[in-house]
Amino acid sequence: MDKKPILCLDFDGVCHSYVSGWQGATNIPDDAVPGLFEFLEQAHPHFDIQVFSSRSHQPGGVEAMTMWFYEQRKKWRENGGGEGFKKNVTVSFPDNKPPAHVYIDDRAITFVGTWPDIDVPRNFKPWNKKPAASGQGE
């Protein structure tokens, strides 16, 4: 069997909605970003899913994210999520940034071979900090 490519997800703002902001490495008060578990179900057959965060190297951070995933997935299932899915999704939590095929992060600018104008990073806002009328590609 071929080894699956790594899909690395950022935790805060991608998996965890991060509405409350940083509350410490082990305090994760908010729910999942809508669609997370549906996406993971679709990605699982194709990717080795790894979640990396600034929490990953802090005491208790990996354990807190692991428990958060368990509780959030349970909540999702109790609310009718996962109908028709038979397998559990495996997610790992490395303590170093993995050599991924692709990363999904709410605080990134895709490098396309030319350096952006300095105003692009200076004015950057993650998706959940943009005005509601703003487009995703702006």
DSSP letters spanning 21-73: ----TT---S-BPTTHHHHHHHHTTT-EEEEE-TTTTSTTHHHHHHHHHHHHH
Whether residue 138 lies inside any domain: the answer is: no
The total number of structural domains in the chain stands at 1
- Mean pLDDT check: name the lowest of 73-77, 82-86, 97-101, 121-125: 82-86
Whether residue 48 lies inside any domain: the answer is: yes
Q: What is the mean pLDDT of the chain?
A: 90
Q: pLDDT-derived band of residue 21, with 50, 70 and 90 as boundaries?
A: very high
Whether residue 16 lies inside any domain: the answer is: yes
pTM of the model: 0.86
Query: What is the average pLDDT across 53-58?
Result: 94
Q: Rounded to the nearest 5 degrees, what angle is found at the Cα of 97, between the Cα atoms of 94 and 99?
A: 105
Whether residue 55 lies inside any domain: the answer is: yes
Whether residue 134 lies inside any domain: the answer is: no
CB distance 52 to 10 below 8 Å: yes
Those residues whose C-beta lies under 8 Å from the C-beta of residue 41, and which sit 6 or more positions away, are 82, 85, 89
Whether residue 113 lies inside any domain: the answer is: yes
Those residues whose C-beta lies under 8 Å from the C-beta of residue 116, and which sit 6 or more positions away, are 109
Whether residue 32 lies inside any domain: the answer is: yes
Whether residue 1 lies inside any domain: the answer is: no
Q: pLDDT-derived band of residue 80, with 50, 70 and 90 as boundaries?
A: confident
The pairing of beta strand 102-104 with beta strand 6-10: parallel
The domain in which residue 114 lies consists of: 6-129
Model confidence at 134: pLDDT above 80: no
